[in-house]
Structure 1
Amino acid sequence: MRWWMFEGAIWFFLIAVGAALIEVFTTHRLKIKKSSTVFLSVLVLLVAWSVIFFGSFIEPRTLIVRSENYSLFAGVENLRAVLISDTHVGPYKNASWINEIVNKSNAERPDLVFLLGDYILGAEGDVRDLDRFGDLSASLGVYAILGNHDYDNDRDLEVQNKLESLGIRVLRNENEKIILSDGREFYLAGVADLWNDADLEKTFSGLTEADEVILLSHNPDAVLDSEIRLADLMLSGHTHGGQIRLPFFGAVSKIPTILGHKYDKGWFELNGLNFFITSGTGEMGPRARLFNPPEIVVLEME
């Protein structure tokens, strides 16, 4: 379904049910008091209306900062990275949202910022809304990869050029050595989107299993590739954590990966690799999030 179809359904429900509830409360109060069936029906509608309103307009605008710790490589400690993923500027999010993300990221005073793809939502996204990303501050640099939606309508080069014009290093099937202030070093590898022009062999070109490597991959399915043995840690987005989640159940919607529902958000280990999936900051499909607020992640590598 197109985004505007979800929007129409949400607004129709909120207006129609809201009007019905107002009518009931203003003209049929006695029926509510006298009939348990009517009371329960009204209560169900009221709860449904409240949940849909909160999930559509409150939680998606409640950006949280999530802290995670990870023991990286021997000798590498006190390294702070901020992970930002799936901003999806377009009909739901715009420049003001990017502004909030940048302010929260800079407040963490990170050494590195990793942008994990899906900056726009198809044809509707305006890359000019990303301009504030140029103000991201990190002592060791800001690095980005592309996600599947950045390729929609063949806009991948447009997105890449915009990011690079803002001083952001875009890794597209390549790697770069990161040298710390005390001379310690590791490699940062970034693979292009797995559904488009990803090439993990090229991404790890020149690296060996003896090198210490962090891989940025928008889609966590990269963990299933045999080349993954060259990575020590993978950081991903893409899943949105399902956007809508329920307690004790997890993601309601299907996770768009081969890995599936089990690997929706958080820390995992598979094929000898530890990897982290952030639920990101934006939405696609319905504008809704529930029990899964948009997040930027502060990764303390100790």
Structure 2
Amino acid sequence: MTKTYSRRTFLKKILSTAAAGLAVVFGGYGYSRYLEPRMMEKNELTILSPKLPPGFDGIKIVQFSDTHLSPFYTIEQLEKVVDEVNLLSPDIIVFTGDLMDEPNSYNETNLISPVLSKLNAPLGKFAIYGNHDHGGYGTDIYSNVMDLSGFTLLRNEALPIKLLDQTSIIIAGIDDLMLGQPDYEGTLAGFSEEQFVVFLAHEPDAAEQAAGYSVNLQLSGHSHGGQVQVPFYGALVTPPFADIYVEGLYQVRENFQLYVNRGLGTTRIPFRFLSVPEISIFTLKRTKN
């Protein structure tokens, strides 16, 4: 039997469906604009390698990235990040670029260093340039802020991180691929196969060239995980040099892993959807050959 509807019932169903659709739209707007951007995941990973000296077994590296300080990501939010990182008791802290969204127009630059200087890491705090750190005549602004914050800013250079027993691992950082002058050869050449090398590169697709060198762990940001993702599809848009590697852990080649951090802030649009901001924590573990 065919079911019939009165005009009133039909209109009521149409209006109910429309109302439900609007609720989904506006609910999604509220979530992606006000809720998810203020969330923060802490993702823990273990990095295994026979190249680690015994003293580095259990050493913890904490990475944060892409804060994009602006009216949409505030100093107060940065203070919470600092508190969360310190609670993790890191041995090494790395920041992989894009501190301010527009450095030359950000009017609270003087408030950043007092916050970042509270970060504690006995084996050092290291940073690299992102494209936004160079953009808007920000190169010197960013350098000054990170220096005052107690970070070592790596720009096409590599340094040893030494323990009291004089054993070491290498930390290397390359200039931004988009607006800087990256030098892979000058940064990564000359390391022996026995050395454990951590490579900081803002753009994750730097791994394609870094794979030709003795790199064991690359830490990157830049992609924001797409910032807005579609279920069962993934990121709608990724920035240049984040086309191959978008988020999470990748095995680039044997003994070379890449982790792409989704970052903390937003850029262009103040929305995140299915791309929750994160801090990543890496525990280094020595394995037998």
Instruction: Tell whether the structures are fold-level matches, with TM greater than 0.5.
Output: yes
Name the counterpart of 1:193.
176
Deviation of 1:298 (Å): 1.3
Per-residue deviation at 1:120? 0.7
Answering whether residue 60 of structure 2 is matched by residue 87 of structure 1, we say no
Tell me by how many angstroms 1:271 deviates: 4.7
Pick 1 or 2: higher relative contact order, CA cutoff 8 A, min separation 6.
2
Post-superposition CA distance 1:119-154 (Å, at most 9, x none) = 011244343342201110111111111100101122
Displacement of 1:247 in angstroms is 3.0
- Deviation readout 1:65-124 (Å, 9 max, x if unpaired): 221221143433101111010000012112111101100000000000001000011244
Structure 1 residue 183 displacement after superposition = 4.0
Percent identical residues: 27
Tell me if structure 2 keeps the 8 A contact 1:147–1:218.
yes
Contact 1:241-1:251 within 8 A present in 2 as well: yes
- The two structures have a TM-score, normalised by structure 2, of 0.87
CA shift for structure 1 position 226 = 5.8
Partner of 1:121: 101
The amino acid that maps onto 1:35 is K
| Distance change >3 Å, CA 228–CA 99, structure 1 → 2 | farther
Task: Determine the structure 2 residue equivalent to 1:139.
Answer: 122
Partner of 2:163: 180
Amino acid at match of 2:16: F
Cα distance, 1:210 vs structure 2? 3.6
Aligned twin of 2:222: 238
* Structure 2 CA distance for partners of 1:142 and 1:32, relative to 1, 3 Å: farther
Separation in 2, partners of 1:211, 1:245: 38
Structure 1 residue 61 corresponds to structure 2 residue 38 = yes
The runs of 5 or more residues in structure 2 that have no matched partner are 1-7
Of 78, 85, 95, which residue of structure 2 is paired with 1:98?
Answer: 78
Report how far residue 182 of structure 1 moved: 4.6
**Which 4+ stretches in 1 moved above 4 angstroms?**
31-34
- Cα contact 1:94–1:129 (8 A) shared by 2: no
Task: Give the superposition deviation at 1:257.
Answer: 3.2
Root-mean-square deviation (CA, aligned residues, Å) is 2.1
User: Aligned partners of 1:233, 1:136: CA distance in 2, in Å?
Assistant: 23
Quick one: which amino acid aligns to residue 198 of structure 1? P
Deviation at 1:180, TM superposition (A): 2.6
Deviations 1:179-200 (A, max 9, x none): 1345431100011101121111
Residue 231 (structure 1) shift: 1.1
| 3-state SS in 1 of match to 2:69 | coil
Number of aligned residue pairs: 271
Normalising by structure 1, report the TM-score.
0.84
